[in-house]
Amino acid sequence: MTVIHLKQYTASSMNQVVTQQKTLETILSRLEELSREIKYIKGRLKETEPPYGSEAWWRWAEKKADEDIAAGRYKTYKDVKALVKDLHQGK
């Protein structure tokens, strides 16, 4: 078992945190994932959406849907029951 010692600095004192290598790797992996998600969201926020329902909006929406599909940002379900279960979980 590999043990890594991390130093956490606070205003009042310096504490030492001990964690396992796997835990650290899990944390770093999640941070990288969150960074990618934030970058994606920032990019989407900067876009200007055409007026809803206009021809331009339909073209824009189709383009965004195609991008999401190409990037794998979608889910498939084996049946309606699985879809409803996922909707109720809020994911």
**Quick check: 8 pLDDT over 70?**
no
Domain of 56 in residue numbering reads as 3-89
- What per-residue string of b and e applies to 18-57 under the rule 16 or more CB within 10 Å gives b? eeeeeeeeeeeeeeeeeeeeeeeeeeeeeeeeeeeeeeee
Is residue 43 a contact partner of residue 24, using CB atoms and an 8 Å limit? Answer: no
**Quick check: 2 pLDDT over 60?**
no
**Quick check: 47 pLDDT over 90?**
no
How many independent structural domains does the chain possess? Answer: 1
Residue 86: both structure tokens together = 């996922």
pLDDT, position 45: 79
**Quick check: 4 pLDDT over 70?**
no
Mean pLDDT, rounded, for 54-80:
95
Q: Considering only CA atoms, which of 35, 91, 44, 42 is closest in space to residue 67?
A: 44
Quote the CA–CA distance of 63 and 60 in Å, as a whole number.
Answer: 5
